[in-house]
């Protein structure tokens, strides 16, 4: 679709040179950090596109065990995202985050983005803010359609504005898995590209990078 093509173009416009300290041999073009990694399904898709996962994080040790059965997990960090430090993250072009949906799903509690497990989103925001000039060029979020309705849409607005304040232009995409596999599973994707109102990151004043 046109929206997915835009995501590809956003990645193509990133600065590949900044990851020289982390590059490995081969055709890899980008480095990514995978938050709320689970068993590595996002990593599986990224690697098929030639994107190297340089960092992965999840709080569940059982998921870490499964992750280790399928991937080189030397860069897997087990723990609460709120306890991670920006200084310990490698330079990356892309951050992905399929953060918990429990408090946003219509099948769950619908307590909102500031409650329970779904509030882990703010841990990601804090990390991106702490990276300052090392912020990734693209942030990709994934969650349930209930995110659109949580607190009558105010939770989504807060999330998008938080990314705007960090220097990202954002767009939302609804994708149904039935377009790719024999199962209907609707998901909301938020694509955030560094740079506001047509300006590149280098053109942004220091006041917007704090």
Which residues are the active-site residues? 101
List, in sequence order, every residue forming a beta bridge with 138; answer none if it has no partner.
Answer: 94, 193
In the DSSP assignment, the letter for residue 81 is G
Strand arrangement, sheet containing 138-143: 76-78, 51-58, 30-35, 94-97, 138-143, 186-194, 168-176
Q: Are strands 51-58 and 138-143 parallel, antiparallel or unpaired?
A: unpaired
SS3 for 160-173 is: HHHHHHCCEEEEEE
- CA separation, residue 12 to residues 124, 168, 173 (Å): 23, 16, 19
Is the distance from CB of 61 to CB of 78 less than 8 angstroms? yes
Is the distance from CB of 8 to CB of 30 less than 8 angstroms? no
* Phi, psi dihedral angles at 200 (to 5 degrees): -80, 165
List, in sequence order, every residue forming a beta bridge with 172; answer none if it has no partner.
Answer: 190
């Amino acid at each position: 679709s046109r929206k997915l093509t835009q995501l590809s173009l956003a990645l193509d416009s990133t600065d590949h040179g900044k990851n020289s300290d982390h590059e490995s041999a081969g055709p890899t073009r980008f480095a990514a950090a995978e938050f709320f990694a689970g068993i590595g399904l996002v990593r599986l898709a990224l690697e098929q596109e030639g994107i190297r996962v340089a960092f992965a994080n999840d709080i569940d040790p059982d998921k870490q065990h499964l992750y280790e059965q399928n991937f080189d997990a030397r860069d897997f960090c087990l723990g609460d995202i709120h306890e991670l430090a920006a200084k310990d993250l490698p330079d990356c072009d892309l951050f992905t985050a399929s953060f918990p949906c429990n408090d946003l799903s219509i099948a769950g509690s619908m307590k909102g983005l500031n409650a329970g497990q779904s509030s882990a989103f703010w841990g990601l925001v804090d990390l991106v803010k702490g990276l300052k000039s090392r912020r990734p060029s693209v942030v990709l979020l994934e969650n349930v359609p209930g995110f659109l309705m949580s607190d009558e849409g105010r939770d989504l607005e807060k999330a998008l504005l938080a990314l705007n304040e960090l220097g990202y232009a954002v767009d939302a995409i609804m994708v149904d898995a039935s377009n790719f596999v024999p199962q209907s599973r609707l998901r909301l994707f938020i694509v955030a590209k560094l740079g506001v109102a047509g300006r590149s990151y280098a053109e942004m004043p220091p006041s917007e990078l704090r």
